[in-house]
């Protein structure tokens, strides 16, 4: 079989994750994409290349990753960046002074900081609404709105955005034509980091662009920082690609290789992350130290029906609030042993953190501010019995018996 002419689109997700864009290398037959650790490429004549001229513009290892993420997200193209925030920054380069961005009120602290502290200095306006409420999205649109950006599940409260619902709302108001670089309707961007393309594919539900911090589930081993974008509109791709080449923020070939390696096991990892997270969410509900559990897989989650419709699993992120406020939450995250106190998420190992003091500290005083009693878990793929035992002892330390009465 000639893999270079095989139609991988007819295969299942797990098969595409291993093979699409990653066919055996032609010269040696290497079955894994090589790390092309080179900055420049020989030309046969002036501007006569074999597809590559300078590594800031592109690299064969990176190109393989472009194909792979496009395949997994069901898009026409993909682009890789030095980090998830670099990917979002390159999307935001599409904005001009006077444009308006509609952002989720439950936004990652880094995204909020970039828009509030950087982009706003250049005359770009923004406002925040609860994207899990379609009417709030409708009311938040302005005549100068050029971009909508939201995560689903959101970070850290794990709200679910009805992607198809927002897309339909935009089509009803603006029509379906993006209009190339002169946008006739706002770009609808979904940050799919918490779910991964195994669990949901936002482009299939009507999003214009999907963005990832591949540092998380796609890499999966807490050993790389990288960002990805996938989409379908070629004019938007060329615009983003132009800005990336002009401004830099490109990933190195080894980082691209690490993400390609991680993506090969994405399906099996996400199933285990999700199974462990569901068990933990159900267990936390019954613990008297816990006030509220946020996990879209729970039937009582206010957006469970939407999650069930657009997600195949519910991912490995669980947040919960505890009695005793900041003091209790701080003791819990410090007492955990298997759950490592650290920022980030999506690795095979379990992590615990206090969003209000760590990943979302930049949202203090804003509409996106995180409560002091919130604890966030990135549930890994360790044995579930060990994870539950660790949480049990941490909660006992954090909220002593009889203290859960605030």
- On whether both 240 and 274 belong to a single domain, the answer is no
Classify residue 325 by burial, with Cβ atoms within 10 Å: 0-12, 13-18, 19+: middle
Choosing from 247, 263, 279, the residue where a domain stops is 263
Choosing from 263, 287, 316, the residue where a domain stops is 263
* 344 φψ region: left (φ > 0), alpha (ψ -120 to 50), beta (else): left
Catalytic, 216? Answer yes
Task: Report yes or no on 325 lying in a domain.
Answer: yes
Domain housing 94: 3-263
Q: How confident is the model at residue 216, as a pLDDT? A: 98
- Give strand ranges (E) for 56-99: 77-81
Residue 203 in tokens: 């482009």
Task: Report yes or no on 405 lying in a domain.
Answer: no
- On whether both 258 and 192 belong to a single domain, the answer is yes
- On whether both 166 and 35 belong to a single domain, the answer is yes
CA-atom Rg of the chain in angstroms: 22
136/279 Cα distance (integer angstroms): 33
- On whether both 195 and 337 belong to a single domain, the answer is no
Task: Report yes or no on 103 lying in a domain.
Answer: yes
CATH number at residue 97: 3.40.640.10
- On whether both 284 and 259 belong to a single domain, the answer is no
Catalytic, 279? Answer no
CATH number at residue 360: 3.90.1150.10
pLDDT digits (tens, 9 = 90+) for 76-128: 999 999 999 999 999 999 999 999 999 999 988 899 999 999 999 999 999 99
Intervals of the chain under pLDDT 70: 1-4, 178-183, 402-406
- On whether both 242 and 328 belong to a single domain, the answer is no
Catalytic, 108? Answer yes
- On whether both 171 and 93 belong to a single domain, the answer is yes
Strand duo 77-81 + 227-231: pairing = antiparallel
392/244 Cα distance (integer angstroms): 47
Task: Report yes or no on 406 lying in a domain.
Answer: no
Considering the candidates 62, 146, 216, 331, report the single residue annotated as catalytic.
216
Q: Say which DSSP state 24 is in.
A: P
Q: How confident is the model at residue 3, as a pLDDT? A: 47
Considering the candidates 99, 106, 108, 159, report the single residue annotated as catalytic.
108
Q: Can you spell out the DSSP letters for 48-65? A: B-SS-SBTTT--HHHHHH
Sequence-ordered list of residues with C-beta below 8 angstroms from that of 124, at least 6 positions apart, any chain? 92, 95, 96, 97, 98, 99, 100, 101, 115
- On whether both 55 and 178 belong to a single domain, the answer is yes
Task: Report yes or no on 403 lying in a domain.
Answer: no
Number of domains in the chain: 2
Q: How far apart are the first and last CA of the chain?
A: 66
Considering the candidates 41, 53, 56, 312, report the single residue annotated as catalytic.
56
Considering the candidates 58, 116, 191, 208, report the single residue annotated as catalytic.
191
Catalytic, 185? Answer no
Task: Report yes or no on 112 lying in a domain.
Answer: yes
Task: Report yes or no on 332 lying in a domain.
Answer: yes
- On whether both 142 and 211 belong to a single domain, the answer is yes
- On whether both 191 and 322 belong to a single domain, the answer is no
Q: How confident is the model at residue 248, as a pLDDT? A: 93
Choosing from 225, 244, 263, the residue where a domain stops is 263
- On whether both 130 and 238 belong to a single domain, the answer is yes
Q: How confident is the model at residue 365, as a pLDDT? A: 79
Q: How confident is the model at residue 319, as a pLDDT? A: 98
- On whether both 33 and 58 belong to a single domain, the answer is yes
């Amino acid at each position: 079989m000639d893999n270079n002419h095989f139609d991988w689109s007819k295969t299942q997700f797990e098969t595409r994750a291993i093979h699409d864009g990653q066919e055996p290398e032609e010269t040696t037959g290497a079955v894994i994409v090589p790390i092309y650790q080179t900055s420049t490429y020989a030309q046969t004549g002036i501007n006569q290349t074999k597809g590559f001229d300078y590594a800031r513009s592109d690299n064969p290892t990176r190109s393989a990753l472009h194909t792979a993420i496009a395949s997994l997200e069901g898009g026409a193209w993909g682009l890789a960046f030095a980090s998830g925030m670099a990917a979002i920054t390159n999307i935001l380069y599409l904005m001009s002074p006077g444009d308006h961005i509609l952002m989720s009120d439950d936004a990652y602290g880094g995204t909020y900081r970039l828009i509030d502290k950087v982009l706003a200095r250049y005359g770009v306006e923004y406002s925040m609404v609860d994207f899990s409420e379609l009417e709030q999205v409708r009311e938040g649109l302005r005549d100068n709105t050029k971009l909508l950006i939201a995560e689903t599940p959101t970070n850290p409260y794990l709200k679910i955005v009805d992607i198809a619902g927002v897309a339909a709302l935009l089509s009803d108001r603006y029509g379906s034509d993006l209009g190339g670089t002169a946008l006739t309707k706002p770009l609808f961007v979904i940050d799919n980091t918490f779910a991964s393309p195994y669990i949901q594919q936002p482009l299939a539900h009507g999003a214009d662009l999907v963005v990832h911090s591949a540092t998380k589930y796609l890499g999966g081993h807490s050993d790389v920082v990288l960002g990805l974008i996938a989409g379908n509109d070629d004019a938007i791709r060329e615009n983003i690609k132009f800005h990336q080449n002009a401004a830099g923020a490109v990933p190195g070939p080894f980082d691209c290789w690490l993400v390609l390696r991680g993506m090969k096991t994405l399906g099996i990892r996400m199933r285990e992350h999700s199974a462990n997270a569901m068990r933990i969410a159900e267990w936390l509900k019954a613990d008297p130290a816990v006030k509220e559990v946020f996990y879209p897989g729970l039937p009582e989650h206010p957006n469970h029906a939407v999650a069930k419709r657009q997600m195949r699993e519910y991912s490995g992120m669980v947040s919960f609030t505890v009695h005793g406020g900041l003091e209790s939450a701080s003791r819990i995250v410090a007492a955990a042993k298997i759950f490592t106190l650290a920022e980030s998420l999506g690795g095979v190992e379990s992590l615990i953190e206090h969003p209000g003091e760590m990943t979302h500290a930049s949202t203090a005083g804003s509409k996106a501010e995180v409560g002091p009693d919130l604890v966030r878990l990135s549930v890994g793929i360790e044995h579930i019995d060990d994870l539950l035992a660790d949480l049990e002892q941490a909660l006992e330390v954090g909220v002593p018996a009889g203290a859960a009465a605030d």
